[in-house]
């Protein structure tokens, strides 16, 4: 029989287990218990094959910014597929969706970030960035300026290049990452690692690690620093206010290119179009993906400043992907940006969703298992701890408590993610105060069940 939503869940799970290798998953463990089958979605709700309605507190994977079920994007995709389903932008050709989308992105991006190099995902875009910054310095006569400094626990993607830029030890342990020429400094996680320092002191001291790394390797060897304005998959680590100004000063002083990975923070997540605006960063390159199309089509890219684009454009940049600037993905992304703009989604975030979400989130701080609640814009995290005052860690392996809490959330029809023992939230930007309150109720129930 055809494989459709009408098959019994157990049959779909068995077929899934037989042939589908899931990303970032222990396959055998999942096969034994069966993956939850998601059948459709609307607004902020997912539906599964058992008829449950699940509140998506993660906007998919931090990407469905306008929410599910927007038929306009489907219409645009169908129209574009009929008119021009595919053509490349490699060999002296272009097309209207790519022209229009680059125009729009250049208009939205701050400063002189006026140029876009397209990719199919955030990982690909960061691979592009790695090659682009090294190529930039080589063209400028400094081929030795090749080291890229990144941060521990950062997530920049899963390909060989972007996984190396990232600082996830579990990823580095598999498949020969990181590649040479990448250096990782500590993240600014004050709650867990600040010790007796004030937030402000800690922010400066963590930023100074960049200067130490530059001096250790030599200013003439370091090409760029890459970081997420707010580290997302690393546990929504919101840096102290002193952190980014010091990083910016150091990059400027030593002539280091600054890459802001805006894959999560971009397109409204922090309450502005880009996280760099919220955190006061002036990058030379921004990585984008996810919210660019609200996840309706796979598309990513690099937004590049005038100077870097001019240098890179002075010769042939031997780099690109078959799907760079894919016309259907570009048309869908453009429609997504139209909705974000014309429906004033950022105003909704700032005036309605953010205040409600922050109040709900900080309201969880009185729970005996919650050590810290922290949130900027529409992305937040809370630290689980067995003892608030001492910030103690659980006796179980790191991540076990977080995993249990995530499972209890899921059993209560709420998607929340855990990063070790931090719980993370990042709902669709169009979420209403009532839906936010419901997230709060389900999260508290899950916490109670873990206590």
Stretch that binds ligand PLP, among 190-198, 239-247, 260-268, 370-378 (CB under 6 A): 260-268
Interface with ligand PLP (CB under 6 A), residue total 17
Q: How far is the CB of 175 from ligand PLP (least distance, A)?
A: 16
**Contact set for ligand PLP, span 295-324 (CB under 6 A):** 300
By rule CB under 6 A, what string of x and - marks binding of each residue 36-65 to ligand PLP? -------------------------x----
> With respect to ligand PLP, which residue has the nearer C-beta, 302 or 385?
302
123 binds ligand PLP (CB under 6 A): yes
* Of 49 and 150, CB closest to ligand PLP: 150
State the binding string over 140-179 for ligand PLP (x if CB under 6 A, else -): ---------------xxx----------------------
Rg of the chain's alpha carbons, rounded to an integer?
A: 22
Report the distance separating Cα 37 and Cα 415, nearest Å.
14
Kindly state whether residue 326 participates in binding ligand PLP, applying the rule CB under 6 A: no
Cβ burial 19-54 (10 Å sphere, 16+ → b, else e): eeeeeeeeeeebbeeeebbbeebebbbbbebeeeeb
127 touching ligand PLP, by CB under 6 A: no
Residue 305 beta carbon to ligand PLP: minimum distance, rounded to whole angstroms: 19
- Tell me which residue of 250, 269, 17, 22 sits closest to 149, measured CA to CA: 250
Residue, CB closest to ligand PLP = 122
Binder of ligand PLP out of 168, 264, 304, 382 (CB under 6 A) = 264
Residue by residue, DSSP assigns 418-441 as EETTEEEE---TT--HHHHHHHHH
Q: What's the CA angle centered on 64, arms 59 and 69, to 5 degrees?
A: 110
Q: Are 50 and 9 in contact (CB under 8 A)?
A: yes
Note whether 381 binds ligand PLP by CB under 6 A.
Answer: no
Please select the residue that binds ligand PLP; options are 60, 67, 161, 232, rule is CB under 6 A: 232
Question: Edge to edge, what strands does the sheet with 285-288 contain?
Answer: 113-119, 300-305, 285-288, 257-261, 222-227, 147-151, 182-185
Confirm or reject binding of residue 263 to ligand PLP (CB under 6 A): yes
CA atoms within 13 A on the CB side of 185: 21
Task: Please state whether 396 falls in left (phi above 0), alpha (psi between -120 and 50) or beta.
Answer: beta
Interhelix angle for 400-411 vs 433-450, to 10°?
Answer: 130
Binding of ligand PLP by 261 (CB under 6 A): yes
**Which one of 57, 67, 97, 122 is in contact with ligand PLP (CB under 6 A)?**
122
Residue with smaller CB distance to ligand PLP, 124 or 211: 124
Binding residues for ligand PLP (CB under 6 A): 61, 121-123, 126, 155-157, 228, 232-233, 261, 263-264, 287, 289, 300
């Amino acid at each position: 029989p055809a494989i459709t939503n009408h098959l019994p869940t157990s049959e779909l799970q068995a077929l899934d287990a037989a042939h589908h290798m899931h990303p970032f998953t222990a396959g055998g463990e999942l096969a034994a218990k069966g993956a939850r089958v998601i059948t459709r979605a609307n607004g902020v709700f997912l539906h599964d094959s058992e008829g449950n309605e699940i509140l998506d507190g993660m906007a998919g994977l931090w990407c469905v910014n306008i929410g599910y079920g927007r038929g306009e994007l489907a219409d645009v995709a169908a129209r574009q597929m009929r008119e021009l389903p595919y053509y490349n932008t490699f060999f002296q050709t272009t097309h209207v969706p790519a022209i229009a989308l680059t125009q729009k992105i250049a208009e939205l991006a701050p400063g002189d970030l006026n140029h876009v190099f397209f990719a199919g995902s955030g990982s690909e875009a960061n691979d592009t960035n790695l090659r682009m910054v090294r190529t930039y310095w080589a063209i400028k006569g400094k081929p030795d300026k090749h080291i890229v400094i990144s941060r521990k626990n950062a997530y920049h993607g899963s390909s060989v290049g972007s996984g190396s830029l990232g600082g996830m030890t579990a990823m580095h342990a598999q498949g020969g990452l990181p590649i040479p020429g990448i250096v990782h400094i500590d993240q600014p996680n004050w709650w867990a690692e600040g010790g007796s320092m004030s937030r402000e002191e800690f922010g400066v001291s963590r930023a100074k690690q960049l200067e130490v790394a530059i001096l250790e390797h030599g200013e003439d060897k370091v090409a760029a620093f890459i970081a997420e304005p707010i580290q997302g998959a690393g546990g929504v680590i919101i840096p102290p206010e002193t952190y980014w100004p010091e990083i910016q000063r150091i990059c400027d002083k030593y002539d280091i290119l600054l890459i802001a990975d805006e894959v999560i923070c971009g397109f409204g997540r922090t309450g502005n179009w880009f996280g760099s605006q919220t955190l006061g960063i002036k990058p030379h390159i921004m990585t984008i993906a996810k919210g660019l199309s609200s996840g309706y089509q796979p598309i990513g890219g690099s937004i590049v400043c005038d100077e870097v684009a001019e240098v890179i454009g002075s010769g042939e940049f031997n780099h690109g992907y078959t799907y760079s600037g894919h016309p259907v993905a570009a048309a869908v992304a453009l429609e997504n940006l139209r909705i974000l703009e014309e429906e004033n989604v950022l105003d909704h975030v700032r005036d309605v969703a953010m205040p409600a979400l922050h109040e709900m989130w900080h309201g969880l701080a009185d729970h005996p298992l919650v050590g810290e609640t922290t949130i900027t814009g529409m992305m937040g995290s809370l630290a689980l701890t067995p003892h608030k005052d001492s910030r103690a860690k659980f006796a179980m392996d790191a991540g076990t408590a977080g995993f249990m809490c995530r499972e209890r959330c899921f059993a209560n029809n709420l998607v929340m993610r855990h990063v070790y023992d931090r719980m993370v939230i990042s709902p669709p930007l169009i979420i209403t105060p009532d839906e936010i309150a419901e997230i709060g109720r389900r999260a508290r129930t899950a916490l109670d069940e873990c206590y």
